[in-house]
A and B are shown apart, each in its own frame.
Chain A
Amino acid sequence: MSYSTFNRKHFDSMKEPMFFGENVNVARYDQQKHPIFEKLIEKQLSFFWRPEEVDLSSDRKDFQNLEPHEQHIFLSNLKYQTLLDSVQGRSPNVALLPIVSLPELETWIETWAFSETIHSRSYTHIIRNIVNDPTAIFDDITVNEEITRRADSVSKYYDQLIEMVNLYNTLGVGTHTISTRGEVVINLRELKKALYLTIASVNVLEAIRFYVSFACSFAFAERTLMEGNAKIIKLIARDEALHLTGTQHMLNIMASGRDDPEMALIAEECKSEVAEIFIDAAQQEKEWSRYLFKDGSMIGLNAEILSQYVEYITNMRMQAIGLEAHFDTKSNPIPWINAWLVSDNVQVAPQEAEISSYLVGQIDNDLGDSDFDDFDL
């Protein structure tokens, strides 16, 4: 019932479900019920990077030369990403650690959330570099209506789950009378449903919401502007793709019923509600694109194109967890984003980077015999 930091019971952790079984006791990784989470941990660790490794010196000058409406696009995206990673840096830990039952999944959740804190730190690094007073930007995140509206929808499911788990861990299942709330019914099935919907909403956050900002950052970089920022976003996108795979696995394992048979029933029951979460988020992101471009578009990107991209990735992500595509958009309206998202050539040291602003005086290391043909000794 109440959470124990070191469960003294004897049990076979290989037989526990992912969530709502025994509290984890021994953090052991020699055996895993779901080896995928161990692999995700290894991969995430191999991705480790620090924002300060990325040189942003040319971004400050670029930012000052941006048109005011472009500065609005850039800063609004940064604020939104700061919000998303503020939520993601803590919520998987707060919401999921008290109910997780497998050591490899527990550590994946911690590793995942930790990497989100790196993203948050990178926004501070970027903001500190481009403006003299970061406080004005950070303060706006909690008061700007366009942002707070989004905060409500990204934190809603987490907050509901956390509240229910708190009651479950203190009072257990049953009907309880709470002075501030009246009668509250806590049952495991409702908890599992809240969990499933939370993971689905996190999947949406990582699969759709982030990508709108990514598209804008890369659209600047296509014009060789804010390239240091693009480099950081590229590293963040690499992490997010992995996190996204993590939540897709959780959802698919739950839906398959091979972890907890009741979860398969819940997944089936929640299908239309989950589809609704995706469609609502797509709608909100389309509204967000209109807000971004309210004072003017940027070369290569406008509210219309960005909205089509939202529809396109929403379709893709829905199909990845076994839902029907919802929108008509069939092809990627901004195929150039692939070249920016590709992570196999991510290198953080500026001297290794391929950013064009650093290529001045670059020495070509590829030599062949014919390169010496002009030489006479």
Chain B
Amino acid sequence: MLVSEKEPLLPQLERAGVLVDYQCREGYCSSCILKLLRGHVIYPTEPLAWVQSGYMLACCAIVKSDIEISFL
């Protein structure tokens, strides 16, 4: 799917009909955590939740390249 840099990935996934769990939608609960298999995302403000390398928070990540993701 084609995503934009204008908003985080989560609302874009939702509009595309992909259901991702969420709670805070601002980066502290890590409910929306996804595996980032390939590609690059950035966080305009660093999220409070712990994000291990190879993972991403859909609610606040801005996609910066082609990415491949999977559910946990």
**Chain A residues within CB distance 8 Å of chain B:** 36, 39-40, 43, 237-238, 241-242, 244-245, 248-249, 252, 315-316, 319-320, 322, 325, 330-332, 335, 338, 341-344
In Å, the complex CA distance between A221 and B31 comes to: 21
Give CA–CA (A273, B28) in the complex, Å. Answer: 27
> Distance (Å) between the CB of B47 and the closest chain A CB?
9
**Which one, B23, B26, B31, B72, contacts A319 given CB within 8 A?**
B72
Taking the nearest CB of chain B, how far is it from the CB of A94, in angstroms?
26
* Given known contacts A43-B28, A315-B72, A320-B30, A245 and B23 CB-to-CB distance under 8 angstroms: no
Instruction: Please name 13 pairs of A and B residues whose Cβ atoms are closer than 8 Å in the assembled complex, sorted by A.
Output: A39-B48, A43-B28, A238-B24, A241-B31, A242-B29, A245-B30, A248-B30, A320-B33, A331-B71, A338-B23, A343-B23, A343-B25, A344-B24
A48 to chain B, nearest CB (A): 16
Residues from chain A with Cβ under 8 Å of B29 in the complex: 241-242, 244-245
In the assembly, what is the distance between CA of A238 and CA of B28, in Å? Answer: 10
**Does B4 have its Cβ within 8 Å of any Cβ on chain A?**
no
Query: Whole-angstrom distance between the alpha carbons of A209 and B67 in the complex?
Result: 35
Q: Complex Cα distance A322/B55, Å?
A: 11
Mark out the residues of chain B between 10 and 40 whose CB falls within 8 Å of any chain A CB in the assembled complex: 19, 21-26, 28-31, 33
Cα(A40)–Cα(B27), bound, Å: 12
Contact A332:B21 (CB < 8 A) given known A245-B29, A325-B72: yes
> Which residue from B25, B50, B71 sits with its C-beta under 8 Å from A344?
B25
Is the pair B24, A330 in contact by a Cβ cutoff of 8 Å?
Answer: no
Interface string of B61-72 (1 = CB under 8 A from A): 000000000011
Main secondary structure of the interface of B (DSSP, over half): loop
The binding surface of chain A is classed by DSSP as: helix
Given A248-B30, A335-B19, list of 13 further CB < 8 A pairs?
A238-B24, A241-B28, A245-B50, A315-B72, A316-B21, A316-B33, A316-B72, A320-B33, A331-B71, A335-B21, A338-B22, A342-B22, A342-B24
A40 and B28 alpha carbons, distance in the complex (Å)? 9
Contact A338-B24, Cβ < 8 Å, known A36-B48, A330-B71: no
Q: Which residues from chain B contact A249 at a C-beta distance below 8 Å? A: 50
With A39-B48, A320-B50 already in contact, the answer to whether A241 and B24 are too (CB < 8 A) is: yes
Bound: A338/B20 CA distance, A: 9
> Complex Cα distance A285/B33, Å?
24
The answer to whether A344 and B48 have CB atoms under 8 Å apart is no
Closest Cβ of chain B to A71, distance in Å, is 28
Query: Could you say which residues of chain B place their CB within 8 Å of the CB of A237?
Result: 23
Contact B23 A341 (CB under 8 A): yes
A344 pairs with B19, CB closer than 8 A = no
With CB as the reference atom, state the residue of chain A lying closest to B47.
A245
Contacts of B19 in A (CB 8 A): 335
A244 to B22 Cα, complex, angstroms: 15
- Chain B residues with Cβ below 8 Å from A36 are 48
Q: How far is the CA of A245 from the CA of B29 in the complex (A)?
A: 6
Residues of A within 8 A of B26 (CB): 344
What is the bound-complex CA distance between A6 and B50, given in angstroms? Answer: 32
Flag if B23 contacts A40 (CB, 8 Å). no
